[in-house]
Amino acid sequence: MRVPPIKIGAGYMMPLKIINFKQMKRNLTITLFLIALITPGLSCLKPFKQDNSGNQNSQFQSAAGNYQNFCAGCHGDNLEKFAAKEWMDEEGSSSAFQSIKYGIEDIGMPAFQKTFSDEEIKELAEYVKKGVPEDKALLKPAVTPGGVVESEVQKFVVDTVVSGLNVPWGLAFLPDGDLLISEREGKLYRFSDGKLSEPIEGLPPIKASGQGGLLDLSLHPDYETNGWIYLSYSALTAESPKPLGNTAVMRAKLQGNRLVDQQVLFKGIPDNDRSHHFGCKLAFDGKGHLFFGIGDRGQHFDFPQNLDNHNGKIHRINEDGSIPADNPFVNQEGAMASIYSYGHRNPQGTVVHPVTGEIWVTEHGPRGGDELNLVEPGLNYGWPVISYGINYDGTVLTELTEKEGMEQPVFYWTPSIAPCGMTFVTGERYKNWSNNLLVGSLRFKYLERVVLNGHSVMHREKLLEDIGRVRNVVVSPDGYIYVAIETPGKIVRLVPIE
């Protein structure tokens, strides 16, 4: 079992010598929880605040404070996610009240009836319905167009390449320089000569709701010879009484503005009606294998620790969808043969190290405990038995942060940054970032540069702060870094300056 970093706020220490590590980490965890109660911003726990009588209250006294503390991580600091909700146009706030109090299980909305009083829920619902002033609701650009950004070791200019999108998810560059873009709502575009094509036809049935839809894109490593494009998506398998589905992987070829020769290579089981935790970033390892992750599908106590289903796992298949003969559970009765590792919550960043060939994954924790994991065959990464996070309503998810037989993350983020999309920096354009990881943050709207020393995180830097919810980051064949941002959706390129 790897020795984990000791996490302190936004920093870390790597222990050189550890005596009675379990007790030390437990004491440290308790200390951090106490610090978080009196230090705003260090934790997702509810901070204390003095009221007019001098008494300490165990939660924020304002709806705005409660929103930022409990809701902004999923719904946006400025209520961006509520703009299209039908109940925003209803009279009163009863629909919002019901959603907050009782939750909406199939979209992953937790219930807060044990967290807030009815009066607090009413105030929060009214706050959501009212929204924020127009001058604060719009995302402001994080950088001046054409202006030079001076990071710690690299200067660059941010160039907006594509705009007018919603939630761009997958990016794949064709040999002629055109860019394929998947939109989560279930549309696929080709960006060529500065223009988006009409939606490409020939997509499979897609369950485009909540976090589901058309997800990642990847070209076969030998695309110029065989023309295979790989797509991950939330497959729609039944429409009534509620839409059912799970993550799937398909490959097809592009002919004009249509996908042809479609082949479904993988379909996760079992289906359910949940609309969250689908995974699913695609990564080829250069040895004929395709890696991808599927989340727990919102049922974390049912799936991740059991091998008789695909959910909460990292999978490895051959490029044609067949199962590698050396997969770790291929000969275990009752186990899904594609499973490479298990005990994962919602992995949305999967990459192959350009030098070592190792598989690295980022995954969403609950409130706190987002993880960077080095994935190895057959290992158990612990979810939901161990975690550095808590439930969304502030209650304790698990008392354990480690357990024998379960792997520790290489690094974890508390509070959650909501990591989505990840890549290693390769090529010669960004020499000072060579083999660094770039990780997108949905929650805090920046790109994080992570410097590794072997299997340890040695340094981190925030880039493009307040750029918007970063959905994906890739390195193009000609060596430029492209970043996909959502709501409003656009794709930018980082142009380095010597």
Convert the pLDDT of each residue in 54-63 to its tens digit. 333 333 347 6
Spacing of C-alpha 444 from chain mean position:
12
Sequence-ordered strand ranges (E) for 407-487: 411-413, 419-424, 437-441, 446-453, 456-463, 469-475, 481-486
Q: Phi and psi (nearest 5°) for 35? A: -60, -40
* Average pLDDT for 13-35: 39
- What is the model's pLDDT at position 393? 86
User: Helices (H), strands (E): how many in the chain?
Assistant: 7, 29
Angle formed at CA 342 by CA 420 and CA 10, multiple of 5 degrees = 40
The domain spans of the chain are: 49-137, 148-497
- What is the model's pLDDT at position 70? 65
- What is the model's pLDDT at position 67? 64
pLDDT reading at 229 higher than 60: yes
pLDDT reading at 207 higher than 90: yes
Of residues 22 and 303, the one with the higher pLDDT is: 303
277 catalytic, yes or no?
yes
- What is the model's pLDDT at position 186? 97
- What is the model's pLDDT at position 167? 96
Indicate the CATH number for domain 148-497.
Answer: 2.120.10.30
- What is the model's pLDDT at position 107? 60
pLDDT reading at 13 higher than 70: no
* Average pLDDT for 311-336: 98
Stretch (H or E) spanning 187: strand 187-192
In our burial notation (b when 16+ CB lie closer than 10 A, e otherwise), range 352-375 reads bebeeeebbbbbbbbbbbbbbbbb
pLDDT reading at 263 higher than 90: yes
- Active-site entry in 75, 220, 277, 289: 277
* Average pLDDT for 25-51: 37
Contact 204, 230 (CB under 8 A): no
d(CA 20, CA 28): 12
* Average pLDDT for 67-92: 60
Tokens found for residue 49: 């605040």
Phi-psi domain of 428 (left: phi exceeds 0; alpha: psi -120 through 50; beta: other): alpha
pLDDT band at 94 (very low <50, low <70, confident <90, very high): confident
The pLDDT tens digits of the residues spanning 216-225 come to 999 999 999 9
Spacing of C-alpha 302 from chain mean position:
21
* Average pLDDT for 346-375: 97
d(CA 241, CA 478): 48
pLDDT reading at 2 higher than 60: no
* Average pLDDT for 402-417: 97
Of residues 484 and 242, the one with the higher pLDDT is: 484
Contact 464, 447 (CB under 8 A): yes
* Average pLDDT for 2-9: 44
pLDDT reading at 154 higher than 60: yes
Angle formed at CA 333 by CA 332 and CA 337, multiple of 5 degrees = 60
Neighbours of 113 (CB within 10 A): 14
pLDDT band at 73 (very low <50, low <70, confident <90, very high): low
pLDDT band at 489 (very low <50, low <70, confident <90, very high): very high
* Average pLDDT for 132-138: 40
- What is the model's pLDDT at position 190? 98
Tokens found for residue 366: 């609950």
pLDDT reading at 147 higher than 70: yes
- What is the model's pLDDT at position 487? 80
Stretch (H or E) spanning 127: helix 118-130
d(CA 418, CA 194): 31
Q: Phi and psi (nearest 5°) for 296? A: -75, 0
d(CA 448, CA 401): 25
- What is the model's pLDDT at position 136? 36
pLDDT reading at 407 higher than 90: yes
Taking the chain, what is the end-to-end CA distance rounded to the nearest angstrom? 42
DSSP 393: T
Of residues 20 and 156, the one with the higher pLDDT is: 156
pLDDT band at 282 (very low <50, low <70, confident <90, very high): very high
Its CATH class, for the domain covering 49-137, is mainly alpha
